[in-house]
Amino acid sequence: MSTSVDRFDLVERPRRLRRTAAIRRLVQENRLSAADLVLPVFVREGATEPIAIGSMPGVVQHSRDSLMRAATEAAEAGVGGIMIFGVPKERDACGDVAIASDSILAEAVRWTKQATGNSLPVIADLCLDEFTSHGHCGVLDADGNVDNDATLAVYQQMGITLAEAGSDILGLSGMMDGQVGAVREALDDAGHLDTAILAYAAKYASAFYGPFRDAVESALQGDRKTYQQDPANALESLREVRLDIAEGADMVMVKPALPYLDILARTADSVDVPVAAYIVSGEYSMIEAAAAAGMIDRERAILEAHMSVKRAGASVICTYWATEVARLIK
Ligand code: PBG
């Protein structure tokens, strides 16, 4: 004890509540829960065993069997949901393969439901970029521009295919205007009143999707700046969120997560539906690469990233670490 130190007459000493681990636990404002986490998975048509993804260490393109194992493990760990992306063998200009009832994505939805039933909500990605030969999220017009309304008609058919396959929720990630309303109408007309829609409402044209394009073997040349948002804009996100909810979105998403926590917080403050955030491939790979290089403590960085997203207002977090984080916080 340094008795010679003069004591200051401080009215508040916030450090009192940080003194022991037990006190810190008592006053912790946010807690991560496995139930909030959604595991995104890639399923490759024709794969007989999992295939490593070079730019996403620890993430694979699944085969049927490895998908069913991963879904079962996620459910057992208490993960809240699974989000499926298909990697087809064949692609075409119109994404016709995306509509077929035996598309790799529809099949993967069936396999997952077979493995985990109603214990793990299945979110199927509803977008064309994995299925088009040019890699865009929609079909192109004669000038090579993404044709919004022609794309909506394809999304409607794809939505019905994925609902029929048993998807609990459809993840509308294409950023076409009117996509939520168009798909909702098609689902309702086909009797799929209970299939929910998660709208990727505020989705930015981001460099952080780089490794994902590797994961789905995207053929994209150029960029998505005519449909995804400019990272400079914030107000535009509130507009996108407002429109999607007006069109019937059951949940909205902000994506990517960590560079857009301000958008996430503003969105969470402005709506009365669940708000999801997606810690995307580039965010995943940056932390994995820095940890592999010995630059940061891997587990602490992962947990801190998830807690930041939760604190900013996400009630659902899509993360490639979902199963691991669910186990870590148990
Ligand atoms: C498009 C889609 C993308 C991601 C999810 N859905 C890629 C893109 O918009 O280019 C990215 C997810 C990630 O980077 O982890 N269907």
Confidence of residue 4 (pLDDT cuts 50, 70, 90): confident
Which pLDDT score, from 0 to 100, does residue 2 have?
Answer: 58
User: Cα–Cα distances in Å, from 78 out to 39, 318, 321?
Assistant: 11, 14, 13
Q: Give the model confidence (pLDDT) of 285-300 as tens digits.
A: 999 999 999 999 999 9
- Residues 165-198 have pLDDT tens digits of 999 999 999 999 999 999 999 999 999 999 999 9
Give pLDDT, residue 221: 85
pLDDT over 70 for what percent of the chain?
Answer: 99
**Substitution candidate for ligand 1 out of 127, 151, 175, 229 with most atoms within 8 A of CB:** 127
Of 67, 41, 56, nearest to 209 by C-alpha is 56
In the predicted model, is pLDDT for residue 1 greater than 80?
Answer: no
pLDDT for 207 beyond 90 = yes
Domains of the chain: 32-329 (3.20.20.70)
Q: Ligand 1 pocket, 131 CB below 6 A?
A: no
What does the pLDDT average to over 122-143?
Answer: 95
* Residue range 304-330, pLDDT digits in tens: 999 999 999 999 999 999 999 999 999
**Catalytic residue list contains 310:** no
Q: What percent of the chain has pLDDT over 90?
A: 96
113 is catalytic: no
pTM of the full predicted structure? Answer: 0.97
Say if CB 38 and CB 79 are below 8 A apart. yes
Distances (CA, A) of 194 to 158, 182, 188, 226, 252: 16, 16, 8, 32, 17
Q: How confident is the model at residue 95 (pLDDT cuts 50, 70, 90)?
A: confident
Q: Is 209 touching ligand 1 by the criterion CB < 6 Å?
A: yes
Q: State which ligand 1 atom lies nearest to the alpha carbon of 125.
A: 16
